[in-house]
Amino acid sequence: MNAEPSMPSVPPQDGGTPPSPPVHYVDAARRHMADANSLLASRRNANAGQLYGFVAECGLKALLIACGVTPDANGEIPSNTRFRQHVPILANRIVAEGNLIPESSRAAQYLTSLAHLDKFADWAIDHRYWKEAALPLPSVTAWKAAAEEILLMVDKAKEDGTLV
């Protein structure tokens, strides 16, 4: 499981309505995609590749929440669930155990559009620590294509009203 600590939830100010949770996977996915594309255009493939993996992770986690996985107070996938993982483990787990998603038939209709999810097989969260020469940089274009595919799935889920 992910050992990274969660951010504390934001308390209501002045006893009013609590603000929305700070975690918003769709917004994060789009921000990471814009930054990744900017880095790629500047030939900074190592960091672009890392961000394409984050796009995938955020898009998949947004779909999980839209399909019934209850988020914690911060809006995150809770740390005590099977789906609190990074790509590629998260992608593999969704494929292998998609039936454990509360609204699995709804999720399946979107997941079937992700023909290139397996392109993240050689992506790793720990790449952020690696020297550039050791990174699988030839995979960056495949990671980008898979990340774009995930954002198209997110757009479709928003269009259908599954994601808000």
pLDDT digits (tens, 9 = 90+) for 109-154: 898 889 899 999 999 999 999 999 999 999 999 999 999 999 999 9
pLDDT, residue 20, reads: 85
Question: Residue ranges per domain, the chain?
Answer: 25-159
* pLDDT greater than 90 at residue 12: no
Which pLDDT tens digit goes with each residue over 17-64? 667 899 999 999 999 999 999 999 999 999 999 999 999 999 999 999
* pLDDT greater than 60 at residue 3: no
Higher local confidence (pLDDT), 39 or 11: 39
Q: Tell me the DSSP string of the chain.
A: ---PPPPPPPPPSTTSPPPPPS--HHHHHHHHHHHHHHHHHTT-HHHHHHHHHHHHHHHHHHHHHHTTPPP-TTSSPPTTSTT---TTHHHHHHHHHGGGSTTHHHHHHHHTT-TTGGGGGG--GGGGGS-GGGS-GGGHHHHHHHHHHHHHHHHHHHHTTS--
* Rounded mean pLDDT, 12-16: 57
Confidence tier at 93 by pLDDT (50, 70, 90):
very high
Mean pLDDT of the chain: 90
pLDDT, residue 16, reads: 61
